[in-house]
Structure 1
Amino acid sequence: MSSTIPPSITEPARRTPLIDEVDVLVLGGGPAGLAAAVGAARGGVRTLLVERYGFLGGMGTAAGVTNFCGLHANVHGVLRQVVQGAGAELLERIDALGGLNTPHLLFGGRMAAQAYDTAAYKVAADELLAASGARVLLHAWVADVLMREDGGIDVVMVETKSGRAAIRARQFIDCTGDGDVAALAGVPYEKGTDGQAMMYPSTMMRIGGVDPVRAGEAWRHVVERMRAAEARGERFARQGPILRPQKNPAEWRANVTQLARPDGGPVDGTDAWQLSAAESEGRRQAAQFMGFLRRDMPGFEHAYLLDLPPQLGIRETRRIVGDYVLTEDDVLACASFEDTVGVNGWPVEEHMAGRVEFRWPHGTQDAAGRAASRGYNHLPWRMLLPQGIDNLLVAGRCAGMTHGGQSAARVSGGCFVMGQAAGTGAALAIHRGIPPRRLPTRDLQDELRRAGAWLGLDDDTLPPPI
Structure 2
Amino acid sequence: MSAFVTEPAHETPVLGEWEVVVLGGGPSGLAAATAAARAGRSTLLVEKNGYLGGAGTGGGLSTFCGMYSNVHGEHVLTVRGHATELLERIDRLGGLRAPHRSFADRIQAQAYDIPAYRRAADEHVLAAGAQLLYHAFAVGASSDESTVDGIVVESKSGRGILRAKVVIDCSGDGDLLAWTKTSHEKADPHGEMLFPSTMFRINAVDGERAGPAWKILPRMMDEAVAAGRPKFPRRGAIVRPQRDDLEWRANATQLRNPDGTAIDGTDVWQLTRGEVQGREQAQEVFEFIRGNVPGFERAYIVDIGPEIGIRETRRLLGKYVLTEDDVRSCATFDDSIGLNGWPVEAHVDGDLDIRWPYGDDPVGCNQLPYRMLVPADGPSNLLVAGRCASMTHGGQSAARVAGPCFAMGQAAGTAAHLALKGDAVVANVDVPRLRTELESEGAWLSV
TM-score by length of 2: 0.98
The residue aligned with 1:337 is 333
**2:238–2:250 Cα contact (<8 Å) kept:** yes
Q: Output the CA distance in 1 between the equivalents of 2:362 and 2:306.
A: 39
Question: What is the aligned counterpart of 2:401 among 397, 408, 411?
Answer: 411
Instruction: Indicate yes or no: 2:336 matched with 1:313.
Output: no
Q: Distance in 1 between matches of 2:114 and 2:190?
A: 33
Give distance in 1, aligned partners of 2:105 and 2:295: 25
Supply the AA of the counterpart residue of 2:367: H
Give the aligned CA root-mean-square deviation in angstroms.
Answer: 1.2
Question: Which segment drifts farther, 431-440 or 390-399?
Answer: 431-440
Q: Secondary structure at the match of 1:142?
A: strand
| Counterpart Cα distance in 2 of 1:164 and 1:96 | 39
Match of residue 362, structure 2, among 367, 373, 376: 373
2:113 pairs with one of 108, 111, 117: 117
Partner SS for 1:44: coil
TM-score, length of structure 1 as denominator length: 0.94
Render the CA deviation track for 1:310-350: whole Å, top value 9, x for unaligned: 10000000001001000011111111110000111111110
Q: Is 1:198–2:193 an aligned residue pair?
A: yes
Q: What is the 5 A alignment of 1:404-443? A: 404-443=394-433
2: CA distance between counterparts of 1:277 and 1:402?
27
Q: Deviations over 1:74-103 (max 9, x none)?
A: 112211000001111111111111111111
Quote the offset at 1:54 in angstroms: 0.2
Distance in 2 between the 1:51 and 1:449 partners?
Answer: 28
1:85-96 equivalence runs, <5 A:
85-96=81-92
After superposition, what is the alpha-carbon deviation per residue over 1:400-420, rounded to whole angstroms, capped at 9, x for unaligned?
000000001000001000000
Alignment of 1:302 onto 2:294: no
Q: Retained in 1: the 8 A contact 2:47–2:135?
A: yes
Q: Contact (CA 8 Å) 2:314, 2:388: kept in 1 or not?
A: yes
CA distance in 2, matches of 1:240, 1:189: 31
* Partner deviation per Cα, 1:251-301 (whole Å, 9 max, x = no partner): 000000000110011110100001101100100000111111111111111
Aligned partners of 1:182, 1:409: CA distance in 2, in Å? 19
Provide the secondary structure at the position in 1 that maps to 2:224: helix
One-letter amino acid matched to 1:410 = R
Within-5 A mapping of 1:87-236: 87-148=83-144, 151-194=146-189, 196-230=191-225, 231-236=227-232
Q: Following the alignment from structure 2 to structure 1, what is the Cα–Cα distance between the partners of residues 191 and 179?
A: 19
Q: Which runs of 4+ in 1 moved over 3 A?
A: none
Match for 1:71: what amino acid? M
CA distance in 2, matches of 1:118, 1:82: 22
Q: Per-residue displacement from partner, 1:161-205 (whole Å, max 9, x unpaired)? A: 100010110000000000001210101111111373000000000
Quote the Cα distance in structure 2 between the aligned partners of 1:237 and 1:100.
Answer: 30
Cα gap change, 1:67 to 1:94, in 2 (>3 Å): same
- Could you give the per-residue CA deviations for residues 210-254 of structure 1, whole angstroms, max 9, x where no partner exists? 111111111111012112322242320100111000012100000
Q: Is the contact between residue 24 and residue 170 of structure 1 (CA under 8 Å) also seen in structure 2?
A: yes
Which residue matches 2:71? 75
Aligned partner letter, 2:200:
M
CA gap of 1:66–1:159, structure 2 versus 1, over 3 A, is same
Distance in 1 (CA, whole Å) between partners of 2:174 and 2:312 is: 10
User: In the TM superposition, what whole-angstrom CA distance separates every residue of 1:106-139 from its partner, at most 9, and x where no partner exists?
Assistant: 2343210110111000000001011100000000
Unaligned runs of 5+ in 1: 366-371, 457-461
**1:17 matched to 2:13:** yes
Distance in 2 between residues matched to 1:203 and 1:376, nearest whole Å: 28
The one-letter amino acid paired with 1:89 is E
Determine the C-alpha separation between the residues in 2 that align with 1:14 and 1:424: 36
Q: Does 1:382 align with 2:371?
A: yes
Cα separation, 1, equivalents of 2:404 and 2:393? 15
Q: Deviations over 1:50-90 (max 9, x none)?
A: 00000000000000000110000111221100000111111
Q: What's the offset of the Cα at 1:441?
A: 0.9
Query: Aligned equivalents of 1:255 and 1:46: distance in 2?
Result: 39
What 5-or-longer segments of structure 2 have no aligned partner? none
Contact 2:66 2:404 in 1 (8 A): yes
Q: 1:272 to 1:196 in 2, by over 3 A?
A: farther
1:397 pairs with 2:397: no
Q: CA deviation at 1:434?
A: 4.1
